Amino acid sequence: MIRRAQRWNIVWVVPIIALLIGGWLLYRNFAAQGPVAHISFETAEEIYAGKTEVRCRSVRVGVVKKVRLEDDLKSVLVDVEIDAAAEQLLRDGTRFWVVKPRLSAAEVSGLGTLIQGSYIELDPGPPNDDRVNHFLGLETPPATNLSVPGLRLTLTAEAAGSVTVGAPIYHRGFEVGRIEGRRLEPGGLGVSYDAFISQEYRDLVTQNTRFWNTSGIDISAGADGFKLRTPSFQAMVSGGVSFGVTVGEVPGQPASNAMSFTLYRDEETARKSTFNPTLKLLLLFDQTVRGLSERAPVEFRGITIGRVAEISFDLVPDITDKRIPVLIEIDPCLMRPEAARNSAAPDSGFLHEAVARGLRAALKTGNLITGALYVDLDYYEDAAPAKIETTGQFISIPTVSSGFAQLESKITAILDKLQALSLEETVTEITAAAEEAKTTMAESRTTLKEIEATASAARQTLEDPQFRELPADLRKSIAALEKSVASMGPDGAVQGDLLRTLDELRASLRALKSMTTTIDEKPNSLLFGRESTGNPQPKAPR
């Protein structure tokens, strides 16, 4: 019996289903594949195909598929497969770098990769830029990601100094940003820095802000002693940058992204950068200007108002003039407001009046060790009358000799007077006085020897045992003397005998007085004796 073959068999269900599943998986695999980015690095250190991940803000967005050398053998090309969901991250401005343990003077980073392994960090570029697939990888991680809001500026300097990538940026000693990168300008004419200021501090940067290097140690000496100013430890290790507005200057408009600023070598240079010399004066000195250099300060009673612009004989057209010409520049804004307004022009009436009242220029010593000089403007009450003159194309104000020049002239006058003296006679007298001094010294030595002999004899006498017993004998003599004196006191025997003797002497004196009275009355009593009666009666007259 012949049967007709069946066109459909249930056995075919299984391969058909398997074919559909395989096709769906294949479609899903191709659909899930994202674009491939080609990144160029100098080396493939810590980069492994099929293992090293690509992350954006610590979220996996791809994996390394292939690592190979470039044709010139100077770099490696890393093929990275990005997930389809992260395809929009590949655009112009996107940055790639390898996150691995790094130890530098500025910071320590990537320690977490010691356990989980290194990976490639992706920092997406601006969202409106074009899509690209070829990138140049960074060998050093940037300080901040482009997605972090803030102010990004460019700082230019003549030399790199100690400011490195990652160095902090300070405002009034508070950290407000970081240096993201540095590079050498084309032709080697300077160095450029990429600076980042945090979003909350971006308004502190204005168009007239000054940036300066704060990496070094500042040592200065003044009237109040030595001063030592040091930045933070981090700034000393990795360098640091500070910024601010010059004192007395009004802040300008806020700065915008990509603006360029000059990075000065120190704060003093940044402060002087606002110097605007609009007043030029010529000074003619009759003394040497050794120690005076260009850019030396011009001060008025200790306040810097200008600087020395040029020292050259070319400033004076008269070649017979032997005075030293010095051209100075003055910024009127550094003077008092009324002086700044009145002295805007060199031939202003303010300068004429000031010179008439004794304004003079002089050279003063700014450093006794180096001998550096500066120009000092001040009023001198005893200055000779003078006026402003015109020398060539400049206005010239009168000058006076500095303190050292006056001292030199006085010393010269003293030496001239000494030279006029009769030095030979003086020397002869000095020689005679010296001879007498020698004789006196010899006699003094003899006298000293005699004094020494006397002192030695006195020392021997004092050390003699008999002399040491002398105080005891002296005490005994004093005791005997006190006893003798006591016998002559009111209660002593000598005192009683003396009183009796005095009584007898008084009785004798009374008897002698009575005898003298009798002889005076009857002189013949010495021959006839005294009358028996004691009451004589006068005889009757004949």
Q: Tell me what pLDDT residue 155 has.
A: 93
Instruction: Identify whether the C-beta of residue 63 lies closer than 8 Å to the C-beta of residue 52.
Output: yes
Could you say which residues of the chain have pLDDT below 70? 1-11, 27-32, 103-114, 216-238, 247-248, 336-348, 403-410, 413, 418, 421-423, 467-468, 484-495, 525-542
DSSP string, 389-431: EEETTEEE--B---HHHHHHHHHHHHHHHHHHS-HHHHHHHHH
CA dihedral (192, 197, 202, 208) positive or negative:
negative
Tally the residues of the chain.
542
- Please tell me the distance from the alpha carbon of residue 50 to that of residue 66, in angstroms, as a whole number: 7
Residue 94: which of 50, 52, 156, 142 has the closest Cα?
Answer: 142
- pLDDT computed for residue 489 by the predictor: 61
| pTM for the structure as a whole | 0.51
Q: Which of 122, 135, 136, 146 is nearest to 37 (CA)?
A: 135
Exposure of 173 in the CB half-sphere (CA atoms within 13 A): 5
Give tens-digit pLDDT for 141-192.
877 777 788 999 999 998 877 788 888 899 988 899 998 888 888 887 889 9
Q: What is the pLDDT of residue 223?
A: 40
Q: What is the pLDDT of residues 268-317, one digit of tens each?
A: 888 877 777 778 889 998 888 888 888 888 988 888 888 898 998 888 88
CB of 267 within 8 A of CB of 173?
A: no
